[in-house]
Amino acid sequence: MTVLGLSCFYHDSAAALVRDGEIVAAAQEERFSRRKHDPSFPRGAVDYCLQEAGLDASELDAVAFYDKPLLTFERLLETYVAYAPRGLASFLEAMPLWLKRKLWTPDVIRTELGDYDGPMVFSEHHRSHAASAFFPSPFERAAVLTTDGVGEWATTSWGVGEGNGLDLKAEIHFPHSLGLLYSAFTTFCGFRVNSGEYKLMGLAPYGEPRYVDAITEHLIDLKPDGSYRLHADAFTFPVGLRMTGRRFEELFGGPARAPESPLTQREMDLARSVQVVVEEAVLRMARHVHAETGETNLCLAGGVALNCVANGRLLREGPFERIWVQPAAGDAGGALGAALVATHEWAGLGRTVHPADAMRGAMLGPAWGPEEIRAVLDAEGLPYHEAPTEAALVDRVAGLLAEGSTVGWFQGRAEFGPRALGHRSILADPRDRATQRRVNLQIKFRESFRPFAPSVLAERAGEFFDLGGPDGLDPSGPESPYMLLVGPVRDARVEGDGLERLGRVESAVPAVTHVDGSARVQTVTKERNGLYYDLLKAFEAQTGCPVLVNTSFNVRGEPIVHAPADAVRVFRRTHMDALAIGPFVVTREALPEAERQPFTAEQIAEAYGLD
């Protein structure tokens, strides 16, 4: 039983291939097209998944799509009618795309897949999210909670997964949406929806929660059981091309921040305030779901499940004993969820529970062999050193990191999901606070306030980070293999207010300690992470520190690198000191003098656009 799952036409399109219940491949289209959050049909991702499985489309048993377009169209029409004549401009802009393509999704898919004439399965959007969370999880049974902007009608759902089935018991419907509430503040603070939410979360620790009362009084009615209703008249997203309007300006002291303009204390306080409200909503929902289901394990997906600060509180404060978050929790993961719905619920195939999980460390994307990489380096005329063994490679790279170098690390299969987990990563030594500013401004070309995440040997994670949880049996604490949990850095000290906190962080690993003394942790094991674990061990042997800065291998405005040529391009255009790609190591100092001049921030913005 082989199923191809698809998500597309909104944002973050993707494909995933599942064979007999096992995940063979999954990839997001933006990696192939080099267009961030690419919504188009995932041509490149589909071709890769079929190639990885050794199939052509005619050999598929089913194709699954991650939502039901007619239900979404129904929601749009009912919303326009309810608010008419407001929303006419938005209606006129949306309809051509619906009439030409989205309403014809089955035909578009068959045309794109060429010779496929088998069955097509359409799963509701939140069922796809729920399936992506539960079926790959390490649990035989668990409660499931999904929260995002909006699917067809649902914005939040919860239920129970058991064996190869899902029973979704309740939903909250549009326009009441926790994800859209967060996105409204994202755009009001001058960031882009569907990409700037990470920035808002990173900005929150610089602020104070002085707008919480205004939000809960005027924007959202949050009930004790976590259910909620937005005061829809305070938002413009149901009818407009913008998410907020005059009501936000009245409540929060003036117009929205213009993109790229200086950040003020107001934006920091707004970020902190909405973060507090969202965390409280997630905690209340989880307590309600726990009380209703009696389950001890919880699975999460949907865009709000990428709020790792809320996830960290959920784990530390309970009531669930264990939580598991789909690493591709956003819409890209819907492709995988749809494929799993078709496999287990439509076809009735049994499910095998894997003790770790079924995601293979999220390493589900393409890989390149040494000779393919060598050909790229030769074509670029780059001088390189070839490590004779993997042990020699990690020793060399660990030495570079210990000397303070930043290293682009391109190894093995690419990750599925928004996080770099040690296969398409930029790495650095976390013991120097200056690393945070240097990597932000000279390599990533992004805002200086944004934090970096640590990778840490799982067996030593508990020495540096407090992820909490009730797992008293494991001295290293709970696992966080997908960098989706935030917890306190042990013995961290932070002083000052607002942005001045950036320079007043003290801890054993200051480059990965955010200004509230926290970190978004990735725990690394030999079983799940292989060579990356070996690198951390080599760095530990040379420095005594089992932690590395790990950030995604890209620059601002660009998707994470996909092919070796992408990695080489980022290396050339930034201040990165070295590139470890397959068995080859390229250092900047080995480049001819004329080739050591990286791009400026303005040139990067011109080449990739702003995120």
Handedness of CA 485, 490, 496, 500 (dihedral sign): negative
Peptide bond into 598 cis (omega under 30): no
Could you give the residue ranges of the DSSP H alpha helices within 381-504?
Answer: 390-402, 434-438, 461-464
Q: What is the distance between the alpha carbons of residues 21 and 326, in angstroms, rounded to a whole number?
A: 16
Kindly state the helix (H) or strand (E) to which residue 5 belongs, with its residue range.
strand 2-7
Annotated active-site residue in 11, 125, 290, 344? 11
Q: Tell me the helix, strand and coil percentages in the chain, rounded to 5.
A: 40, 20, 40
- Please give the distance of CA 468 from its chain centroid, rounded to a whole number: 22
Q: What is the distance between the alpha carbons of residues 204 and 188, in angstroms, rounded to a whole number?
A: 14
Q: What is the distance between the alpha carbons of residues 34 and 242, in angstroms, rounded to a whole number?
A: 26
Q: What is the distance between the alpha carbons of residues 312 and 333, in angstroms, rounded to a whole number?
A: 21
Could you give the residue ranges of the DSSP H alpha helices within 172-234?
Answer: 178-188, 197-203, 212-218
Q: Cβ neighbours of residue 252 under 8 Å, at least 6 residues apart?
A: 188, 211, 214, 266, 270
Q: Please choose, from the candidates 551, 575, 558, the residue with its C-alpha nearest in 3D space to the C-alpha of residue 443.
A: 575
Q: What is the distance between the alpha carbons of residues 325 and 302, in angstroms, rounded to a whole number?
A: 9
The answer to whether 584 and 410 have CB atoms below 8 angstroms apart is no
Kindly state the helix (H) or strand (E) to which residue 265 belongs, with its residue range.
helix 265-293
For the question of residue 231 being annotated catalytic, the response is no
Q: Cβ neighbours of residue 448 under 8 Å, at least 6 residues apart?
A: 437, 440, 441, 502
- Please give the distance of CA 360 from its chain centroid, rounded to a whole number: 17
User: Which whole-number Å values give the CA distances from 301 to 94, 159, 196, 305, 324, in the listed order?
Assistant: 27, 12, 19, 5, 9
The phi and psi torsions of 283 (rounded to 5 degrees) equal -65, -45
**3-state DSSP call for residue 161?**
strand
Which class for 291: exposed (0-12), middle (13-18), buried (19 or more C-beta within 10 A)? exposed
User: Which whole-number Å values give the CA distances from 239 to 86, 87, 89, 577, in the listed order?
Assistant: 6, 4, 9, 49
Kindly state the helix (H) or strand (E) to which residue 158 belongs, with its residue range.
strand 154-162
Kindly state the helix (H) or strand (E) to which residue 162 belongs, with its residue range.
strand 154-162
Q: What is the distance between the alpha carbons of residues 601 and 190, in angstroms, rounded to a whole number?
A: 19
Report the 3 state secondary structure along 469-515: CCCCCCCCCCCCCCCCEEEEECCCEECCCHHHHHHCEECCCHHHCCC
Residues designated catalytic: 11
